[in-house]
Amino acid sequence: MINEERLLLEFKTLLSIESPSKREGEIAYYLADLFEALGYPCFFDKSGEHTGSEVGNLIVKIPGKKEVPPLLLCAHLDTVGPCEGIEVIEEEDLLRSNGKTILGADDKAGIAVLVELAKALKENSFSHAPLEIVFTTCEEIGLLGAKNLDFKHINAKWALVLDSENPEEVVNAAPSSYQFSVKVFGKSAHAGIEPEKGINAIKILAQIVSSLPTGRIDYETTMNIGKINGGVYVNVVPDFAFIEGEMRSHSEEKLNSLKSEVEDKVREIIENHPHKIDTLPSYKINFTTVFKAFHIEEEDPLARMIREAGYLAGLEVKFKKKEGGSDANVFNAQGIKTLILGTGMQKVHTTEEFIRKKDLFNCARLVSTAVKLYSERAKEFF
């Protein structure tokens, strides 16, 4: 059913369209025209008003001939940088960037597979279930498109997100992620004339940073401090400094423990500061949820269906945890059971990014086979 030559050509066309986060307009309108030409209704939601993107998420409805819940399929429109003037180097078995930019297979490989699926369904008419295809914006900067997706347009109970590496490794678990900031307020003073009248916020923050755990905490938990800043002039005792970081874990209990540890350490250091002046030093801590964890058991009906689809497509599907977030985290949190499929993209978010053609084709076969199986058995599941 899949036309590999056509899929590869479409993929290269998509790679030629720049689509950094918030500037997905060109590729979104290209896809809207393409799906409308195929006769499939599509529209944009109003998420752009909240994400800052040029467009909303693109939602495509492919009608089915069976009265079962639709299957949701998703890929994201945006890429990381550098993505200006991408030159694709095609070799016998792979495509790569020229080493100066990303390639953009993350996630244009997923987009290309969904375009090819739509074309194949048009050519090979069979009694398939309805499909809802969502192309999200601003995934790379916090899953913003998915978080602001207008779910009143979505009726699916199951979903497949095309946004991982190996087509034979299906992601069935991903962690929760929290970002945090710690702000320390001291007191300014002339550093040469009367330093004893000041409270050095940077020095206090350094004590806090050195007391906090970072890196791999255990096999399913990590924490990182990624930004630090403070002060204005070298001859002024700095009255303000801050850090920003993140923590991830597959265990919500461990994340709550880490959050408590951060709060306790900061409070202890501030309260025990030896040179208090009025109410100073003081602090503020803020935690923000980036995405919530999900875990789908390997014997869940959706997972079993994908494993069988892999077998029928000639792939030995295995399940794995993923340490990063994706639109699948958002969909699962919304009650839509979602797995992540690999498209073949490798070394993503680097100028060494590449993709093997056979992996792209394998992903397309897996997706098309999954659609067939879902169409045949959806009534058993719901």
User: What is the per-residue DSSP string for 67-118?
Assistant: -SPPEEEEEE--B-S--TT--EEE-SSEEEE-SSS---HHHHHHHHHHHHHH
Reference 71, options 343, 374, 309; nearest CA is 374
Q: What is the pLDDT of residue 66?
A: 83
pTM for the predicted model, two decimal places: 0.91
Same domain flag for 193 and 317: no
Q: Does one domain contain both 227 and 328?
A: no
User: Taking a C-beta distance cutoff of 8 angstroms, is the pair 239, 198 a contact?
Assistant: yes
Q: On the CB side of 375, how many CA atoms lie within 13 Å of its CA?
A: 19
Domain membership of residue 255 as a residue range: 176-291
Look at residues 245, 265, 291 and tell me which one is the last residue of a structural domain: 291
Four-residue CA torsion sign, 23, 24, 27, 33: negative
Same domain, 222 and 101: no
List Cα–Cα distances, 38 to 1, 131, 325, 371, in angstroms.
17, 14, 32, 18
Same domain (yes/no): 261, 349? no
**Residue 115 φ/ψ region, left for φ over 0, alpha for ψ in the -120 to 50 degree band, beta for the rest:** alpha
Measured CA to CA, the distance from residue 367 to residue 299 in angstroms comes to 19
Q: How many domains does the chain have?
A: 2
Handedness of CA 161, 167, 173, 178 (dihedral sign): negative
287 lies in the same domain as 320: no
Among residues 291, 323, 338, which one ends one of the domains?
Answer: 291
CATH number of the domain where residue 108 is located: 3.40.630.10
| Distance in angstroms (rounded) separating the CA atoms of residues 277 and 238 | 14
Residue 188: predicted pLDDT: 96
**pLDDT tens-place values along the chain, 382 residues long:** 899 999 999 999 999 999 999 999 999 999 999 999 999 999 999 999 999 999 999 999 999 988 889 999 999 999 999 999 999 999 999 999 999 999 999 999 999 999 999 999 998 877 899 999 999 999 999 999 999 999 999 999 999 999 999 999 999 999 999 999 999 999 999 999 999 999 999 999 999 999 999 999 999 999 999 999 999 999 999 999 999 999 999 999 999 999 999 999 999 999 999 988 889 999 999 999 999 999 999 999 999 999 999 999 999 999 999 988 999 999 999 999 999 999 999 999 999 999 999 999 999 999 999 999 999 998 888 8
Same domain, 287 and 297: no
| 64 and 110 part of one domain | yes
Same-domain status, 162 and 196: no
Hey, which residues are catalytic here? 78, 139
pLDDT at 216: 96
- What confidence score (pLDDT) does residue 127 get? 84
Alpha carbons within 13 angstroms on the beta-carbon side of residue 350 total 8
Do 47 and 192 fall into the same domain? no
Last residue of one domain, picked from the residues 253, 273, 291: 291
